[in-house]
Amino acid sequence: MGICTDRSVIITGAGGGLGRAHALALAAEGASVLVNDINRDAAAAVVAEIDAAGGRAIANSDDITSMTGAHAIVEAAATSFGDVHAVVNNAGVLRDRMFASLSEEDWDLVIKVHLKGHFCITSTLVQRWRAQVKENGQKVDARIINTTSGAGLQGSIGQSNYAAAKGGIATLTLVQAAELGRYGITANALAPAARTAMTETVFADVMKKPDDGFDHFAPENVSPLVVWLCSAQSAGVSGRVFEADGGRISVADGWRTGPARDKGARWAPDEVGAAVEQILAEATPPQKVYGS
């Protein structure tokens, strides 16, 4: 008996990289898994691996960025497994450019896949879970696991579209947790540091697989946290952003009100500079933007 036995999970972008690792780890812990990926052959290959290991999974290639596609994904999981207990929003895409060279198409695609992709599938599931609560009169035990990034938490040179989307996802997670707890739905996010198709070209030298010893950037290192967040054991944890980096799990300490000066009246413009100087002298400096 694994910690996700009798639970079913939808994972987006699960044909390779982190999504594949999550799917295999969840199935190994007893979950029934819908493997969603735009590359249907890749999704089918992951399902074949799960089947061969004695797990239960189905492949799906519907579009996560439309409500029509999201409904089809949820319906496929519910029909095959009887219910859906968790979603791991993992799918992503990169169109890296310096901000001055970023096109409208580069911006729109990245925001659509990451931010709207998180919205469509999760909104569809939340409607389903809320209806179950109203029908049964008791809370569900449901999980939303979103994927943000260090780029979304600290920023990243050459990735303003990606950083904006991932920052939006982190904040979205906080709001979901605050609004949906009444139904028994938790929402958490993770910022993984792992070798995937999206990172291996940008950070190829840093993230290359070692010849021996612990493979720090193996995507499989992130999956145990995802499995636990999908399980019933994580019911008391919501509204958190975790970072997973090799063998380290940390919780991100996000935006909060820091040092202040309160005049008790309207500031004159020529008074503001001195107040800001005092505030910044007391404040903890922000982490540096990646690449700066």
List 8, 156, 160, 162, catalytic entry: 162
| Confidence tier at 204 by pLDDT (50, 70, 90) | low
**In the predicted model, what is the mean pLDDT of residues 194-216?**
64
Which amino acid is present at 149?
S
pLDDT recorded at residue 37 = 98
Mean residue pLDDT across the chain: 94
Q: How many CB atoms lie within 10 A of CB 51?
A: 13
* Contact call for residues 176 and 168 (beta carbons, < 8 A): no
Strand (E) or helix (H) holding 130: helix 117-136
pLDDT recorded at residue 216 = 78
At 55-95, the pLDDT tens digits run 999 999 999 999 999 999 999 999 999 999 999 999 999 99
Q: 207 pLDDT exceeds 80?
A: no
At 243-264, the pLDDT tens digits run 999 899 999 988 889 999 999 9
Q: 213 pLDDT exceeds 80?
A: no
List 32, 149, 160, 234, catalytic entry: 149
List 8, 61, 166, 183, catalytic entry: 166
At 104-146, the pLDDT tens digits run 999 999 999 999 999 999 999 999 999 999 999 999 999 999 9
Q: 96 pLDDT exceeds 60?
A: yes
Up-side HSE of residue 286: CA atoms within 13 Å toward CB? 12
Q: 4 pLDDT exceeds 90?
A: yes
Active site residue 32: no
Closest residue by Cα to residue 47 from 33, 61, 29: 33
* Contact call for residues 197 and 17 (beta carbons, < 8 A): yes
Is 0.85 topped by the overall pTM? yes
Chain center to CA of 79: 25
At 225-240, the pLDDT tens digits run 999 999 999 999 999 9
Q: 206 pLDDT exceeds 60?
A: no
* Contact call for residues 263 and 270 (beta carbons, < 8 A): no
How far apart are the C-alpha atoms of 2 and 50, rounded to whole Å? Answer: 15
| Confidence tier at 50 by pLDDT (50, 70, 90) | very high
Q: In what order do the strands lie in the sheet with 241-245?
A: 56-60, 32-36, 8-11, 86-88, 142-147, 185-193, 241-245, 248-251
Closest residue by Cα to residue 291 from 156, 135, 139: 156
Q: 188 pLDDT exceeds 70?
A: yes
Active site residue 290: no
DSSP state of 290: B
How far apart are the C-alpha atoms of 117 and 114, rounded to whole Å? Answer: 5
- Of the ranges 31-35, 65-69, 229-233, 283-287, which one carries the lowest mean pLDDT score? 283-287
pLDDT recorded at residue 292 = 85
Beta-carbon contacts of 17 under 8 Å, excluding residues fewer than 6 positions away, are: 194, 195, 196, 197, 198, 219
pLDDT recorded at residue 202 = 54
pLDDT recorded at residue 10 = 98
pLDDT recorded at residue 205 = 59
Query: pLDDT over 90 for what percent of the chain?
Result: 86
Q: 154 pLDDT exceeds 60?
A: yes
Domains and CATH numbers, the chain: 8-251 (3.40.50.720)
How far apart are the C-alpha atoms of 148 and 114, rounded to whole Å? Answer: 9
Backbone angles phi, psi at 165, to 5 degrees: -65, -45
pLDDT recorded at residue 201 = 55
Active site residue 183: no
